[in-house]
């Protein structure tokens, strides 16, 4: 019987599955790095989501750990290199929230296009100003999808149902594999030059950190709106805020941030931005 340390909330069904497999499930939420290291003593497995930082220091101080399980997709909060060197397996759940992420992308696209949160705030605050938040239609607009993996493809299917024209950038995709999606593949610069909306669906890697920076935003189609439900750090938040203030970018809908958890971002001060 193995002891499994769970440091973030996961579905009760998941905990029951671990217990039914004969494991001793130890749930300890909100641990600091020091507390995490202490709690890992005697544990064979660690289950995390996105908040727990499984750093090199934590892994180096841990003996007997066999596997780190990420209840989700991204692994940027786990030092995979150190884990591999120490013989600790790192696994994730790539299909766990694909549909949820795609649906949330569509929700944010609509919220950004139709200015739903802003109109709500104005009205409950006592202002009847319908003309201020008219927004735009999705129909006949061009959606640029950066990253055409599982989630990107689900978004493409849903956006097509709204009558959007879909273009995409993904250097790892073979065009024959997406022929049924009716998606035009472009390079990244051409995509931002042509798209009315851009949505990001990329992993957090050294190659994608800061991908959407001031230089790329300066080349964007004027009035473009950007959605990011992928990973924090892919968009330079300072550069995006400046592009919105200048009017180059009309607005953004952001679900992930460079530092999480956070209550501070230059984007929070802008009424053209929707955050979740």
Q: For residue range 64-86, what is the model confidence (pLDDT) as tens digits? A: 999 999 998 888 899 999 999 99
What does the pLDDT read at residue 73? 83
Is the separation of the CB atoms in 138 and 162 below 8 Å?
A: yes
The structural architecture, per CATH, of the domain 3-91 is: 3-Layer(aba) Sandwich (3.40)
Nearest to 242 by CA among 221, 223, 270: 270
Residue carrying the six token digits 């400046």: 242
Kindly report, residue by residue over 225-264, the tens digit of the pLDDT: 999 999 999 999 999 999 999 999 999 999 999 998 899 9
What does the pLDDT read at residue 69? 96
Alpha helix (H) residue ranges in 115-176: 116-124, 150-161
Please give the C-alpha separations between residue 140 and each of 116, 161, 235, 239, 240, in angstroms, as whole numbers. 20, 11, 26, 28, 25
Residue 1 has pLDDT above 90, yes or no: no
- Per-residue pLDDT, averaged over 24-35, amounts to 93
Structure-token pair, residue 67: 């596997």
Structure-token pair, residue 211: 């991908």
What does the pLDDT read at residue 176? 78
pLDDT band at 190 (very low <50, low <70, confident <90, very high): very high
Nearest to 96 by CA among 60, 59, 137, 150: 150
What is the SS3 assignment for 225-241? EEEECCCCCCECHHHHH
What does the pLDDT read at residue 82? 97
Is the separation of the CB atoms in 133 and 119 below 8 Å?
A: yes
The segment(s) of the chain belonging to CATH 3.40.50.720 are 3-91, 98-275
Nearest to 195 by CA among 165, 175, 218: 165
pLDDT band at 180 (very low <50, low <70, confident <90, very high): confident
The yes or no reply on domain 98-275 and CATH 3.40.50.720 is: yes
Kindly report, residue by residue over 219-235, the tens digit of the pLDDT: 999 999 999 999 999 99
How far apart (Å, rounded) are the C-alpha atoms in residues 50 and 70? 8
What does the pLDDT read at residue 95? 79
Alpha-carbon torsion (222, 223, 224, 227), positive or negative: positive
């Amino acid at each position: 019987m193995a002891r499994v340390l769970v440091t973030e909330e996961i579905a009760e069904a998941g905990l029951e599955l671990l217990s039914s497999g004969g494991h001793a499930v130890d749930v300890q939420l909100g641990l600091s790095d020091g507390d995490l290291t202490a709690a890992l003593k005697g544990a064979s497995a660690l289950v995390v989501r996105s908040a727990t930082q499984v750093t090199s220091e934590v892994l180096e101080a841990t003996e007997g750990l066999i596997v780190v399980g990420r209840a989700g997709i991204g692994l940027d909060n786990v030092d995979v290199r150190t884990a591999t060197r120490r013989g600790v397996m790192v696994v994730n759940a790539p299909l766990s929230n694909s549909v949820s992420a795609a649906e949330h992308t569509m929700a944010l696209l609509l919220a950004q296009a139709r200015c739903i949160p802003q109109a709500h705030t104005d009205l409950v605050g006592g202002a009847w100003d319908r003309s201020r938040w008219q927004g735009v239609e999705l129909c006949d607009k061009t959606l640029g999808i950066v990253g055409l993996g599982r989630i990107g493809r689900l978004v493409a299917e849903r956006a097509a149902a709204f009558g959007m024209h879909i273009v995409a950038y993904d250097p790892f995709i073979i065009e024959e594999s997406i022929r049924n999606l009716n998606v035009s593949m472009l390079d990244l610069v051409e995509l931002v030059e042509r798209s009315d909306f851009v949505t990001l669906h990329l992993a957090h890697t050294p190659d994608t950190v800061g991908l959407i920076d001031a230089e790329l935003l300066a080349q964007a189609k004027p009035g473009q709106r950007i959605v990011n439900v992928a990973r924090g750090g892919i968009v330079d938040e300072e550069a995006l805020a400046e592009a919105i203030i200048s009017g180059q970018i009309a607005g953004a809908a952001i679900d992930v941030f460079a530092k999480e958890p956070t209550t501070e971002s230059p984007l929070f001060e802008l009424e053209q931005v929707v955050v979740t």
